[in-house]
Structure 1
Amino acid sequence: MAEYHEITVLPEGKKIMAEAGKTLMDALAEHVDLRADCGGNGVCGKCRIIVITKGLPDLNDVEQEHLSSGLITSGYRLACQVVVDRPMMVRLPESGQDKGHVEAKKVFPGPYPVNPYLELKADKRYLGLAVDLGTTTVAGYLCDLKTGHILASRATINPQRRYGDDVISRINFAGKSPANLKRLQGLALDAISYLADTCLKEVNGDRDDIYGLIVAGNTTMEHILAGLDVSRLGRTPFTPATFSEIKFKTEELGLRFRPGTSFTILPIIAAFVGGDTLACVLANKPYRRDEMTLIVDLGTNGEIVLGNKEGMWTTSCATGPALEGAQLSCGMRATLGAISACDIDPATYKFSYKTIGEDIEPPLGFCGSGILDLIAAMIKSGIVKSGGNFNKNAPGYTISDRDGGMARVVFIPEDNNPAKVEIFVSQHDIRQVQLAKAAVITGIRELMNKVGIKKIDRTILTGAFGNAFNWRSAVTIGMLPDLDTLGKVVSTDNLAGEGAVLALLDKNTRFEAEEIKSKTQYMNLAEQSGFMQKFVENTGFDEAKE
């Protein structure tokens, strides 16, 4: 018989029965919002907790690497490394909590073209829900199927995050057992149900008013939602179980809507170019334009589309989670307390910043837009060299090593921060952003070479990260081409969500989706001649002062 121990979680005083031998991460995952950026693999160092119970085994090497001497003295441990072997009392510090604030994803409110897929009666209310199922955030749009207007919209954290910030972590978790896949599927369905209920509450509706749901997501998210095997997405040749549109009735998924309510998942283009990218194309319609259009959808993965009515090409690039603030020393997603914008005065070297919810929240770390601004500012002020190394002769800041570890620059000392959190950037953080930015710029340039163009007419930036950042900072660090090459630049909150709304309201848009899927050519970056050499060359910062 399994042995269990009681875990008391402060400050709420919640009591949890945890099976002996499990890590605190596994024990707490179902009960508290604890950060788990790397899925409990001991890589990110973000699952920080304070263990009040005495007598635990000493910190292991992973904890020693990620925790400063000050944090260790204060009782900090990593939840993924502590094994439950006795009753415990733990405290969740602010820096270890996965806070629930989600920035709303705005889309055009309508009206959209209406060409319903079912016969509508004049005396009944017909609603539908369009969903953008992102790796980090899930957004829902409640639509009137008669008028084509969005009546309400909501967003929530993807609850699958407790099993890792990126799709690879979730593929690995799902691949361990059918029960794990079922768990991830259930969490996604829970999020969709929550969005439906909160949107319906706003318009005094109920689930019987909904006649259809449609979902756009990346390939992994769509496969998990459909309960499909994702193991082949985690190994070469990265083969999806299906490329086609997937249809259910809500009752087949265990959802409590009116019997027969349709539940549709958009088709995908390639292994890592999913229904969300297809939805972006449906919303912006470059396939109907003369102008050469570049769509860059940036999140935990990067998808790029380039083309016009003469033809379209697409590729995906492994940006990693750095652009959403994950797996950085002081990284976090765009939630309360995240530094979302910052700069360094070139004359005084003073660091200035803005946080999300800055009137009530002290800084806890950098989200993706903040880290991009920071590195651009460090380049301009001479703190970072062209190769990405710190310039130890740069004025204004001291390049230091923490406890003999990796070089870093402290921007907000712990003593100057009400949250009692030290805000810094390390050499490792710079490297992570270099890898992400090299992936994006290499993908863009390779697509331009494939199409045979030197200049783009229109650039559309979207995605969980793509709409929220200062794109000029991305140009400064070399993640995007120069301004002359980009043409007119437009940032849009949620192009994928808008495309999902179109597909929900207009049955012809779904026919277009299948046509676009078949006509869009996919380019595998890794198979391009000289790709690795180009990628390495693109890790540099050309605008850096030596």
Structure 2
Amino acid sequence: MSEEQGVQGVASVLRLGYSGGSWGRLFFLHSAAIGVSLFMQAGHVEVKFEPLGRKVDVGRGTQVLRAAMTAGIAMDTPCGGHGTCGKCRVFLSGSVADPTETERSLLSEEEVARGMRLACQSRVAGACTIEVPESSTLEAAYQILAGPNGAASVGVSDPVVRKRFIALPEPSRDDAAPDLERVEQALGAVSTDVELMRVLPERLRDAAWRGTFVLYDSRLIDFEAGDTSGACYGMAFDVGTTTVVGVLLDLVTGDQRATCSRMNPQTRFGDDVLSRILHATQEPGGLAALQEAILDEIASMTQRMAEDAGVALGHIYDVTFAGNTTMLHLLAGIPPRALGQVPFVPAFHRGLAWSAADLGLPIHTRAGVHIFPV
């Protein structure tokens, strides 16, 4: 097994259409890797995915969705893999597990008899072939968009990050509108922060009023000289107890540009979540040390992926983190004490929406950071 295969499968979460303080649709884009934790299990079997012809070795009992992750197959899971949307339908042949109650409630008897299962619910019982319909893949969430000259391009429906190159009319005696009003005449109503407003007037004039506006939902987060509309990237990380996996994604084309996997450096504070909870709560500065360890590793992985893909760090505008409840608390620097005590109550359940500056990430200062719901 190659080094590339010997990493834990990552579910990179893309957030599309977040607005008004509520989470929009969530998708998983799965990286091509075979998990270290899976590799260490006994009783591995071969799973073949059609029509892509990809083969992976996973342990018996592995979730089909997790196996798809390791094969680098992007499946559409709007419900986050909780078995409520029924989108991740696949056909299994060979060693097929009995359907779960959730599958019976979402699939017809005829579909179950034909071997249809939900990837987020079914598990690998033995060597098998899994057919993944196109309608179950993340690509189904992308659509062909017509360009200004009628050319076709691949885009994301309602992307959260948008870049628009615009040539604004320069102020004159007949048109003395304020700078922000002039921008809004082209973009529509936007909000921004004081830091950007302090530099925007000079940037507009230095660029002769021609440049690219970067929008995050309805928030203006930057103005870049020239046409940089094609340079728009996002990242996602799966923060596991032992392994961290990241993916760099082109938000314009939907292409995966780079991946990176590392061991979670928090293992030096304890191999399991309980030992890390104890370290965070009982050791002076324990929580800060755990957070610093994981954020430093993520920063290093970010720089590596950007370098591999030839992407400027300042053109990364969105990051999403998935992981178990304890890992996400430690990542966010939220005290995890209650997670180690009955009734094991987390500090948050809905997703958290922050900025890159809140975590000190080496990407665009106003990039959005989303911590997946726990």
Q: TM-score, normalised by structure 1?
A: 0.29
Relative to total residues, which structure has the larger helix share, 1 or 2?
Answer: 1
Relative to total residues, which structure has the larger strand share, 1 or 2?
Answer: 2
Q: TM-score, normalised by structure 2?
A: 0.42
